[in-house]
Chains A and B, each alone.
Chain A
Amino acid sequence: QQQVKQSPQSLIVQKGGISIINCAYENTAFDYFPWYQQFPGKGPALLIAIRPDVSEKKEGRFTISFNKSAKQFSLHIMDSQPGDSATYFCAASKSNNDMRFGAGTRLTVKP
C-alpha cells in the first residue's frame, strides 16, 4: 500500500541546524502533499502542506520544496529546536482523499 517513500528513517540534528526530510511518490494523480508531525503517544497533526501548482511553501521555520518532474518533495526545518523532536510523516493524496503516508522519520534535535 505504501506509495510514498520517505528518507531518512532517523535524523539527528544539532540545535539551530537545518533538518531535511525527503519523500518520493509514484502516482502522478496525487495532488496534495502534506507533512504530519507526531509526538509519542499522540496522533499525527498537520504541519504544512502543498499542492503541485507551486514549487515551495514556507510557514515560519518550516518549508516544503516540491519537484513535480522528479516526483519528489522535501521538508526543511530551519533553526531546529529540541521541541521539534518528533516523528515526521510525508503523505500524498488524490482529490478524492485516499491519503497515503510515508514510513516516517524520527527527528532528534540535540541541545
Chain B
Amino acid sequence: DVKVTQSSRYLVKRTGEKVFLECVQDMDHENMFWYRQDPGLGLRLIYFSYDVKMKEKGDIPEGYSVSREKKERFSLILESASTNQTSMYLCASSLSGARGYTFGSGTRLTVV
C-alpha cells in the first residue's frame, strides 16, 4: 500500500511565524499535491509538483510556497502565518498518468 505521511496531525502556531508542513510518500510517485480543506468549501489546490524541483501554482497559492528537493518529500511553507490560514491541510501523491490520488491523514493547523 502507498503511504503518504504528514509529519504532524495538529499544529498551533502564532501569527507571523514561518510554518513548515512536511509530507513524505513511499511509492516513488512523481506527482505530489497540497490542498487545504475548509468547511463547505471542499478541497482547494494550493500547489502541486510533477517532478523534483518542479512546482506549479494551484488555485490558491497566495501566502504559501513549496519545496521539493527529493522525490519523496513535498513541503508546504507558510512564510508568515496568518489566522486565515487556519485550516486542514492535506497532502496527496499520484503516479504520472495515473488518475487517483493517495492522501495523507491531514494536518490541522491553527494560527492564533
Do chains A and B stick together as partners?
no
B residues adjacent to A (C-beta < 8 A): none
